[in-house]
Amino acid sequence: MYLKQISGNTLVRDRSAADGYLCKMAKKEKQNIRELTLAEIETYLATLGEKKFRAKQVYEWLWLKPVQHFDGMTNISKELRAKLAEDFRLPGLTVDTTQVSSDGTIKMRFKTHDGHMIEGVLIPTSTRYTACVSSQIGCSLSCKFCATGYMTRKRNLEFDEIYDEVALLNKECEKVHGKKISNIVYMGMGEPLLNYKNVLRSIERITAADGMAMSPRRITVSTAGVSKGIRQLGDDKVKFKLALSLHAANDSKRHEIMPINDTNNIKTLVDALNYFYKQTKNEITFEYILFKNFNDSPIDADELTKVYRQVPADLVNIIEYNPIDLAKYEKPDAATTENFIRILEKNRVNTRLRRSRGKDIDAACGQLANKNS
């Protein structure tokens, strides 16, 4: 009987199985070429006898005018493109569907290399063009008012996939409006601070001179309240803005709609935000969705004021609720909303009402759930 120990305690009883096992072990997955620096690409191409300037051409195709396939690198030879495809993979996003709202908001559904779907939104106004991007496929936080919260988290997005979202939304913005995006918000599907490494790495590429060269001051990362991650942002001295999705100003109500509050209560978050500000001096915003007969009373406004005064926050964004099929919550009437804002302003809280955009195509805040038809 043929019996061979392949590695450790792994035994294979027939020759064909042994050969197949060894072949599988020897065949490593190709490296994502976007993991390489420009210097590393130069080194690789030098081993092929290619001139140094070729590396810059390849790098530009990866980051300045990103392509989804090596064949798209049209100013390098077919032979080199074939060699790159042989040695590396380029798992870029592709556009699956595009929807346009009656208010001009554009929702794009992207397909990943392994068949998952995520959504990003382009929000145009008279003064800016904002890309709202996702950081995870699904979400694990189960916020009761959010469509994404009812999805299963499949995996984190890689840094280059997040970059591709921005690049593709920017391409659409240039096509439709003739202008580049002006702002980016990490407020799409998923919790950015639970994909910390990839989110920060994507921002590094977006703000790099050989990337999109966007100012970090035009980028906002929104969190449902991961206090450890907020502190880490402070330690890392990040340059972008931070938004906290508060949505209720006492622990009892916040826990009811946001289970994360059980381990990241308001006091913990206040302490983390103060630490973040001390380390970075970056702008902090509170996000607060109004729910009818839940968090929209004068008492709620007073409680929100107390939280606001504990943090050097720049602004409270009052957000219109966008109903979803799976949740019981409703939007309060205009009079209630106006009264709530009036109380905040009387208490000297810098307040802004953020009108919902793209509701008719499920592109508004809390509605992203891959429902494109």
Computed over every residue of the chain, the mean pLDDT equals: 89
Q: Topology of domain 31-89, per CATH? A: DNA polymerase; domain 1 (1.10.150)
Q: With 60 as the cut, is the pLDDT of residue 333 above it?
A: yes
Average pLDDT over residues 250-255: 97
Q: With 70 as the cut, is the pLDDT of residue 125 above it?
A: yes
Max Cα–Cα distance, the chain, nearest Å:
87
pLDDT digits 0-9 by tens, 204-222 = 999 999 999 999 999 999 9
As annotated, the residues of the chain forming the CATH 3.20.20.70 domain(s) are 94-361
Cα–Cα separations (whole angstroms), residue 136 to 54, 89, 280: 34, 21, 26
As annotated, the residues of the chain forming the CATH 1.10.150.530 domain(s) are 31-89
Catalytic residues: 119, 365
pTM, 2 dp = 0.87
Residue with tokens 């008279």: 126
Which are the contacts of 49, defined by CB distance < 8 A and separation ≥ 6?
Answer: none
Instruction: Determine which helix (DSSP H) or strand (DSSP E) holds 31, and give its type and residue range.
Output: strand 31-32
Work out the pLDDT band at 12, boundaries 50, 70, 90. very low
- For 125, the token pair is 């106004």
Cα–Cα separations (whole angstroms), residue 74 to 44, 58, 285: 19, 10, 44
Residue type (1 letter), 358 = G
- CATH number corresponding to 94-361: 3.20.20.70
Give the model's pLDDT for residue 356. 66
Q: What is the C-alpha to C-alpha distance for residues 247 and 321, in angstroms, rounded to an integer?
A: 11
Work out the pLDDT band at 6, boundaries 50, 70, 90. very low
Give the model's pLDDT for residue 207. 98
